[in-house]
Structure 1
Amino acid sequence: MDQRQRDWLLDSDPALRWQVERDLVGAADDVWEATRARVAAEGFGARLLALQDPDGQWAGGAFFPADFDFHGPETAPGAGQPWTATTWSLNALREWGVPASVLGDTAARLAENSHWEYDGAPYWQGEVDCCINAWTLMNGAWLGVVVRHLASWFVEHQMPDGGWNCEWVDGATRSSVASTLNTLEGLLFYERAGHGSAEITEARHAGEEYLLSRRLMYRLSDGSLIAPWVTRLAYPFRHFYSTLHALDYFRAAALFDGTAPDAQLDDAIASVRSAPSEGARWLQGRRHPGRVWFEVDVDAGEPSKWLTFYAERVLTWWDGR
């Protein structure tokens, strides 16, 4: 990565800049830590924190805004769900590096006031959806909530093929790459927070093998691409699956486990290298439809600093093996 590329990436909101400093530039700890400390006070982080409701929620709901019409136009095909409610807002703040201490008594307020739209269960109890429970596991571990019951839930709901599927409650018997990836991110975060166990690690490794056996991209049945969207890069990742999203997980897992990059990732790496770009700047593939508080990345077709950061980080890890 040349100096021009570095300067372009560093000219970013603190939520991205501190990660560029730490993972790509190799800045001293005190440098990137100082930048990270700015996230809660300026830019994206400060804007989102200011939108929190007095009861601890965002947009008045756990997963959907309080005014969401489950039979209205936002549920039409292609409309896209809203991304403004509590879970999505917590996900963003956590991913941007906001310290849990900044959230104060948010965890307690959510325990008292927030309930899942699906069945009315208390927020930290979790839900039936694998992805929702994975984000709740991460956000709980981040905010200091005891969420070991959710970690155990994943062990109990792992499918025979090693992965997970959010549609299990509707009778699904085979895993989904998206549900599996989101679950793996939750389990890894929980382990990295110091709450792991042999049982959780075993479940995580089995889920990783589910994705690795498909080289992150292909059907086991005939070797065809799982779907056209697996190679489409878009930020924020949200709950969507892509080879870049999956590779970023496998990078983090390998660093945590102290293992080398797996050769079965080679095709996925090639898909990232060949993804639409301008020079060494990866292009935004799409903006996922749905309400947002504010945009944090560029329009489709434009060079994305976020996608470029993730791609450069993954490729630097892979090429350094």
Structure 2
Amino acid sequence: MTYFLQQFLNALQLGSIYALIALGYTMVYGILTMINFAHGDLFMIGAFFCFIAAGLLKLPFVPTLLISMAGVALLGVAIERVAYKPLRNAPRVSAIITALGVGLFLENFTLVFSPYPQSVPTLIPNQTWMLGPVSISSLQIIIVLLSIGLMILLDLIVQKTMIGMAMRAISWDKAIVPLMGVPLNLIISITFAIGTSLGAAAGVMYAQAFPVIDPYMGIMVGWKAFISAVVGGIGNIRGAMIGGFILGLVEIMVAAFMPSTYRDFVAFALLLVLLIFRPHGILGKPRPQKV
């Protein structure tokens, strides 16, 4: 039982990171019905911003986090304006190919720093406390609490603000809403900024939990966050949160009780089984088709 509780705490840490990245996928899909396959690489850029701010500029954790989130948010908005905006009315496969191309560009551009893995300085004192037979670290507490705080803040923005109302309206019918005076381009840019900044926050926390980064680290993590979004219901913010924690729990428990090489197999098998029995995810709903 003690071993299970210890692994459950590890699953909360990993699930928090997956959930934050999954929110970026689900927000963009909810607005544009497009999968931003470059999102995992933006998570990687967030980790490299952490490396620059902490390793080269010697900044503490909070400024590093804010700089990473702001820098990746600006990059996300620029990518949307340059790469995705001209393709809004193009076939979806064009947007998918473009997103994959953007991801490849980001990976190869980051090789400018070095083709080798980089070590990120530890910004959070990693103290450990015993709660009975279970140990919990300050790093785990900060990652989980910060992630949950950002998720709650996002949920409040979407549900309680005018910007959130505009996002929900555009996700329902982006052809009619601009006729009512809603600035479509601005809301889409805000959506990309929020989604990519959450991915950057996940990158910073990942770099602190696993302090060796490389230009290709976002590929597999991005795919797993995409699985989290689909499991929870792509386009549903709360579903993406739930999906992230589910996938984190599954991965950690598989690694704890089975050979660790089965982790990726089980993660993708989970997606396959869910799509068979519940194609729209846990909280997802089928979109009405206009004819």
Specify which structure has the higher proportion of helix. 2
Q: Which has the higher contact order (CA 8 A, sep 6+)?
A: 2
TM-score range relative to shorter protein = under 0.3
Using the size of structure 2 for normalisation, the TM-score is 0.27
